[in-house]
Amino acid sequence: MSQKQLLTYKPAPATQPPKPQGETPPVIELPQPDLRSGVPLMAALSLRASTREFAPTALTPALLGDLLWAADGVNRPLTGGRTAPSAHAFNEVDIYAALPNGVYRYEATQHRLVLKHAVDARNMTGYQDFVGAAPLDLVYVIRMSALLSMPQSQRETFAAVAAGAIAQNVSLYCASAGLATVVRGWINHRLLSDALSLNEDELPILAQTVGLPATPPAR
């Protein structure tokens, strides 16, 4: 049996995000999620996989709305509970959507996207060559100010768990909806922070590329 070949990486050259493509509205109101869509959970688990080849086709508003709600939307309006767990319900992980027409932050309570930076930052969300071609890159950002009441030794661990839960929600939704996705940790934190116009207390921890598969699955 041959040894598994390990990937080797080297820093990518510094680059600037290009101007956004098309209109950049300040707010994108998302359609309410279709709770009847998709395949059963066990089928989605059987289909969950990482994919690194994506079609450039833009996601429809309905798909984008369902995807973000599945990621960390409000599923219990009376209490504000989310689809992803968070220790003490701090909800310290914000989801940023890098789209061709701008960088948006997902507001779960309003189920909408709010413009953060009018640039096409998709090529800044990681070193891999496919990230700039896919229609959507999600970036999971920790708001450290939300964790001040938690012991410092626990903050990074619990925030990482919350980000991982969100990423798995996205992966399962993609498997259910026939989308392709891959979670990525190989990012330039400072470069990405600048591209997303983050504050000093905000830390990008993980990225996830989403799109239609480059080759439709065989039926």
Q: What is the pLDDT of residues 70-81, one digit of tens each?
A: 999 999 999 999
Domain boundaries, the chain: 32-136+144-201
* DSSP 8-state symbol, 111: T
Sort residue 22 into left (φ over 0), alpha (ψ -120 to 50) or beta: left
Closest CA to 30 of 117, 122, 97: 97
Residue-wise pLDDT tens digits, 182-199: 999 888 888 889 888 899
List C-alpha distances in Å: 151 to 23, 126, 158: 43, 30, 11
CB environment 26-51: b (16+ within 10 A), e (fewer): eebebeebeeeebeeeeebeeeeeeb
- What's the CATH class of domain 32-136+144-201? alpha beta
Give tens-digit pLDDT for 79-92. Answer: 999 999 999 999 99
Q: Work out the average pLDDT over 89-112.
A: 96
